[in-house]
Structure 1
Amino acid sequence: MKSDGLLIVGEDLCEKLVGRQQAFDAVQAVFGAMAKGGAWNFPVIREALGHADVLYGFKSGFDRDGQVLGLKSGGYWPGNAAKGLTNHQSTVFLFDPDTGRLSALVGGNYLTAVRTAASSAVSIAHLARQDARVLGMVGAGHQSTFQLRAAAEQRDFEKVIAWNPHPDMLPRLAAVATEVGLEFEAVSQQELGAQADVIITITSAFEPLLMKDWIKPGTHLACMGTDTKGKQEVDADLVAAATVFTDEVAQSVTIGEAQHAINLGALTEDAIAPIGAVINGDHPGRTSDDQITLFDGTGVGLQDLAVASVAARLAEEADLAQRATL
């Protein structure tokens, strides 16, 4: 980046400049770099504030291969929806890795949604059966529409089926399914497991919403909501029965979906593979049509930095970003 001031890239600009393909490419590349040891995340800080039921924290890291250094600060404000705001609020800070100077402030709300969707899409691209036709969605909150759009581009899906604890929220998914040309049906959790070839869970649950016996052989699951100690979206027995992949193993076993199977002794850390190893060709990924694969998408700081750096670069190239001096 140029050295003449701090770039400020707002939410509207991020949405204008960073689409699904740019996010997919950036996330896939940084997962590959992580698996090779060319990029790494720093320990996550995530705390309950004791105010407004907020979970707040920091995710940070350094991509040496891509020369991206920074952090995302933000969290989850569950009361924001009633105020007309997104529950997830965050900002990305990018620093010049050569000098340590702050180089860009980038809005993180849209980018968090698009990078999370890109992560599950990357997992579908590399792990789902090629003949997958039914996409299952568990969750219908803000991020679910991003997930659906990104997933729909990875296989020749014919139908979307969905369940949400609050059924009145499902019409937003139905509208997106229609928009991308897919049939839509609201179903029970058991029926979703029986029909779906690919399942995305994107909730803030603290209890299993899908059980092992409901899932058919050959299913690929992308569990995207569990990113904190105690959270859980699927049965620990299901995780233990699946071939598990993740964005980062250290987070998977401590704050991800795998934490519960690990704590029960039903899964070992060395049984979990980084998705980057599949991307790099160092792991075969899915090895049979009957295999259940599961991607534990815990969300890593490097994902945020990757898409934020794309937004900053594109904004600078188009001379659209604001500039400031600290």
Structure 2
Amino acid sequence: MTVRPCIQSLAAITAVMTLLSAPSASAATSDDRVAATVDVRPGDSLSVLAARNGVSIDDLRRWNPKKIGKDDLIRAGDTLVVMVPKGSPEAAAATGPAWTGYYDIQSGDTLSRVAAKLGVSMAELRRWNKLGKDGVIRAGRTLRYVKHGPRPPSRSVGTTTHGRLEQPVRLGEGPGYRLRFPRNTYTVPSVVTTLQRCTARMKRRFKGTADILIGDLSRPTGGRFPPHVSHQSGRDADIGYYIVGNVQNATMYRLKAHEVDYEKTWELLLCMLAEDEVVRVFMDTPIQKRMAEYLETSKRLDPKRIDRLFAAVGDIRDDALVQYAPAHDTHLHVRFACEPADRECAEDPGERPFHL
């Protein structure tokens, strides 16, 4: 009769010891978890953060030995490391590819408000933008920030003269072209694809030809871009002319009409027109007329199509694709259509995709 209780007691003790020695959820191995970060909010304490993230206070101390001070003091705006389970949404956000976003500071913004709005820490904003310890920011400045995980789609909002860019992409270096001001080449993916496809095609077709010069597209967040009237929503691109004699135009200097290489310039424009993505082109009037003459004498286009193309020679001037604008003897200005997914994107009056 006395043996059975002893066996039961031994089993109970063994069970308790097993539970005590088993790793808790918060003490899971690093193979089961990945590092993520959390921002310390005003009023947060270690116990609040631990409960919010399903870990222990000891875990937070161990993961952040240099961030957690005496008496477990933490400061609002700091970023703490938290080990999260693999496969969780937090892990996906922490380990996904990094992408860069931009934010225009508004009147009344503070660093803490912007950080909360963007879902980043004040310390990170200071580091990414080389801000002082006081974290003072001024309306009108653009802040850069970095996030991980799925990137929101790029959006062209409004018109080219009253618009903005959200989550833009930047046109980087590529075959067949040079960038005049890389800091001003923000746009939407379809424009990058078209420009890179067509300049690469020119490089293949005309072996040894000088790279075309690409100038301004848009600022990182779009909006006003002096001295331009347009270029506000990522759909305008300034592109230098090809020059007779295979001359490299390094600065977009002013050209006489006879200095433009019309064969190459037309081939580039034709490539961009092929996808029905162009709604307007701006050129100097003498250059328009010379290009129309080239297309007619070379029999590249019939007279009716030439009239539809150029306002300088056709009868239907307002509906012509190529229009006059001042100071466009240095470059041609190509305006691209709204992407179908951009529901807030709008064409200016009279502009629509041109079908050659």
| TM-score, normalised relative to structure 2 | 0.24
| TM-score, normalised relative to structure 1 | 0.25
More RCO (CA 8 Å, sep 6+): 1
Relative to total residues, which structure has the larger helix share, 1 or 2?
A: 1
Structure whose alpha-carbon radius of gyration is higher: 2
